[in-house]
């Protein structure tokens, strides 16, 4: 069972999202809050923490950005999916660079919401075509900005693993494709996280796009 937290200041919207999961056998909303402060308080008191949080950006008291920063610091294994009406590039890039695992618009259909949760649980990230195109466009405008020595410090095998991660291969599938063990794949992934100084797989994807290592 995937335990989901829902953090949004509109109660009617929360009711609509909860309805999506009534027919899902392996997902359940186990926590909801109307702002970041309420959510963090609920987390402190929870015996079982959520696996995933669906988080709005603009909320009273503590907004989504500040809430995400605290969650990433205190609960690093929790997946964060931004679910918002804000589609401006500055919001998308700011959240992705912070280290969230996914970004969805509130006009997404129910199937995509479920798909997004499944993806972040299995692959650690989910960006649809619209978000990926915005990422690519903004990063091309910003320029690469990554020192060549960092890229050159990656081994050929690490680049191969990075490419397959970006193409949504699981660690098991990567191992089978490259004829290496699951443990070796995880070792390469940890090395990539350390060398590139990013928090999670989403950060690896951002790096790969920014430096045109892969084309998604």
pLDDT single digits (tens) 5-35:
999 999 999 999 999 999 888 999 999 999 9
- What does pTM read for this prediction? 0.84
Last residue of a domain, one of 111, 138, 165: 138
Better-scored residue on pLDDT, 176 or 216? 176
Residue 183: inside a domain, yes or no?
yes
**158 plus 79 within the same structural domain:** no
| CATH classification of the domain holding 171 | 1.10.10.10
**102 plus 23 within the same structural domain:** yes
% of the chain beyond a pLDDT of 90: 66
**76 plus 177 within the same structural domain:** no
**195 plus 105 within the same structural domain:** no
| CATH classification of the domain holding 28 | 3.40.50.2300
Last residue of a domain, one of 85, 106, 138: 138
Q: Which residues are CB-contacts of 72 (< 8 A; sequence separation ≥ 6)? A: 80, 98, 99, 199
Contact predicate 71/79, CB 8 Å = no
* Range of lowest pLDDT (1-5, 157-161, 200-204): 200-204
Residue pointed to by tokens 């109660």: 11
Number of domains in the chain: 2
* 88: helix, strand or coil: coil
Q: Which residues are CB-contacts of 138 (< 8 A; sequence separation ≥ 6)? A: 89, 93
50: containing domain: 2-138
**109 plus 203 within the same structural domain:** no
Secondary structure E strands in 61-203: 79-84, 102-105
Q: How confident is the model at residue 176 (pLDDT cuts 50, 70, 90)?
A: very high
Residue 72: inside a domain, yes or no?
yes
**Burial (CB count within 10 angstroms: exposed 0-12, middle 13-18, buried 19+), residue 216:** middle
* 55: helix, strand or coil: strand
Last residue of a domain, one of 114, 138, 162: 138
**26 plus 92 within the same structural domain:** yes
% of the chain beyond a pLDDT of 70: 94
């Amino acid at each position: 069972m995937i335990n989901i937290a829902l953090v949004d200041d509109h109660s009617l919207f929360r009711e609509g999202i909860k309805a999506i999961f009534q027919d899902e056998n392996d997902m359940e909303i186990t926590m909801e809050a109307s702002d970041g402060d309420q959510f963090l308080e609920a987390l402190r008191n929870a015996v079982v923490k959520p696996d995933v949080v669906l988080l709005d950006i603009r909320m009273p008291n503590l907004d989504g950005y500040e809430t995400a920063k605290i969650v990433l610091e205190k609960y690093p294994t929790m997946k964060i999916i931004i679910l918002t009406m804000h589609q401006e590039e500055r919001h998308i890039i700011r959240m992705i660079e912070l280290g969230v695992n996914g970004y969805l618009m509130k006009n997404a259909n129910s199937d995509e919401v479920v798909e997004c949760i499944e993806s972040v649980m299995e692959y650690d990230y989910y960006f649809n075509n619209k978000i990926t195109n915005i990422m690519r466009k903004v990063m091309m405008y910003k320029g690469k900005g990554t020192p060549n020595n960092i890229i050159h410090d990656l081994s050929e095998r690490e680049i191969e693993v990075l490419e397959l991660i970006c193409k949504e291969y699981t660690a098991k599938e990567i191992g089978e494709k490259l004829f290496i063990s699951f443990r070796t794949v995880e070792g390469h992934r940890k090395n990539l996280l350390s060398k590139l100084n990013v928090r999670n797989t989403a950060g690896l994807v951002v790096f790969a796009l920014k430096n045109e290592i892969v084309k998604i």
